[in-house]
Amino acid sequence: MVLKKSLAVVMASALSLGLLAGCGGESGGSSGGKVIKIATQTPLSGGSATLGESIKLGAQLALEENKKKFEKMGFKLQLVPYDDQADPKKGVSNANQLGADTAVMAVVGHLNSGVSIPSSEVYEKYNVPMVSPANTATDVTDRGLKTVNRIVARDDFQGPAGADFAIKTIGAKKIFLVQDKTAYGQGLADAFKKAAEEGGAEILGYEGITVGETDFNGVLNQVVAKKPDLVFFGGLYTEGALLIKQAREKGIDVPFMGGDGLDSSTLVEIAGDAVKNVYYTSVAADANKTPEGQKFASKYKDKFNKTIESYSAYGYDSMSVVLQGLEAAIKANDDKLPERKVVAEHIRKIQDFQGVVTKVGFDDKGDNKFAKVYIYKFEEAKYPGKQEGEISK
């Protein structure tokens, strides 16, 4: 009984303290300044936890580097990581939670476009600005939400970027296209075809295969007969790997090219040595290519004792963009904490932010004007491929 009572007393006092602290926050407390929370929403559990965690850690690094600056301005930065489990339902419920918390000023996330799209409807409702480090689906920004931004390229730029590289760098003049009849594969192949035709290449064929099938010799017999100097595949790695493998067995040794659907270690596992001379596009740059990126990688390694993943630096840059917008909003508001709506406006206003892997400047939809598509090539049967080039808009 005594124990229970004392527990109740402790709880009650904790609660009232919490309330007081809350009031203090509202009325501009003294010690350490007002708390500003920045949330991350990425998958921290489940199949894509490695990627989600790496975005969170990148964001955390940027936040910690900026802590001192904000303390001088009278604010205390705090990171609140949420786990969206790569699940739209979980993402939305987290979004409601963090939207209701008035101390949360912005969100860095998500990894998956499918989660980002419904969750951002909630952010829009609460005016929480979001900067995505990894979403590529066109619908993320095409809905015209004021709070939604991304720093990577859009899906519909991959095809044209690939065509540009294929024609100018690889020197392809006669191209054969194969696609898998899905929205992703056909969309990618169509965009590539259009850009390639405009670039002056001749399209020798445009054929479809069926997802789930394993024998693509029929289509490949056409490729053999037409003798193209590049084969483009719009689709995912499972079919892509088999297609490449069977093509090489038929003696088709021209370069293959595909979108980020081929960006998987399983492609190498299935195709083996056949994967050589295969190009794929990706929206993520290899951070180790630039000196700034290498510096970031070693900082990251020192702090977390982990090597960077493909989106770590994008997490870092997203957070930096958020903080820059926040800083500008605070300054514009006479060094007082602005409303979230104002922060969102200031983030959207950013035009020339130089990050570790990418330059950031948002257009009126929230797409990054400086986003690039990177071309990778498999030179040996090893994942990932080597970054060969970058294409900007």
Residue 27 in the binding site for another protein (CB under 8 A): no
Residue 206 in the binding site for another protein (CB under 8 A): yes
Residue 222 in the binding site for another protein (CB under 8 A): yes
**Roughly how many angstroms between the first and final C-alpha of the chain, as a whole number?**
71
From candidates 101, 198, 253, 269, binder to another protein by CB under 8 A: 269
Shortest Å distance, C-beta 96 to another protein: 33
Task: Give 147: exposed, middle or buried? Use CB within 10 Å, 0-12, 13-18, 19+.
Answer: buried
Quick one: how far is CA 174 from the chain centroid? 33
* 3-class secondary-structure state, position 363: coil
CB closer to another protein out of 268 and 375: 268
Q: How many CB atoms lie within 10 A of CB 145?
A: 18
From candidates 103, 130, 242, 330, binder to another protein by CB under 8 A: 242
Q: Are 132 and 154 spatial neighbours (Cβ–Cβ below 8 Å)?
A: no
CA dist., res. 356 & res. 340, Å (int) = 26
Q: Judged by CB under 8 A, how many residues of this single chain contact another protein?
A: 29
Shortest Å distance, C-beta 232 to another protein: 15
Q: Are 365 and 144 spatial neighbours (Cβ–Cβ below 8 Å)?
A: yes
Which residue, among 52, 44, 36, has the nearest Cα to 133 in the 3D structure? 52
CA dist., res. 191 & res. 194, Å (int) = 5
Between 154 and 193, how does the x/- string for binding to another protein read (CB under 8 A)? Answer: ---------------------------x------------
Task: Give 157: exposed, middle or buried? Use CB within 10 Å, 0-12, 13-18, 19+.
Answer: buried
Stretch that binds another protein, among 96-104, 195-203, 268-276, 284-292 (CB under 8 A): 268-276
For residue 391, list its beta bridge partners: 373
Residue 48 in the binding site for another protein (CB under 8 A): no
Between 87 and 126, how does the x/- string for binding to another protein read (CB under 8 A)? Answer: ----------------------------------------
Residue 251 in the binding site for another protein (CB under 8 A): yes
Q: Are 195 and 223 spatial neighbours (Cβ–Cβ below 8 Å)?
A: no
Residue 333 in the binding site for another protein (CB under 8 A): no
Q: Which parts of this chain interact with another protein (CB under 8 A)?
A: 181, 205-210, 212-215, 217-219, 221-222, 224-225, 238, 241-242, 245, 249-251, 266, 269-270, 272
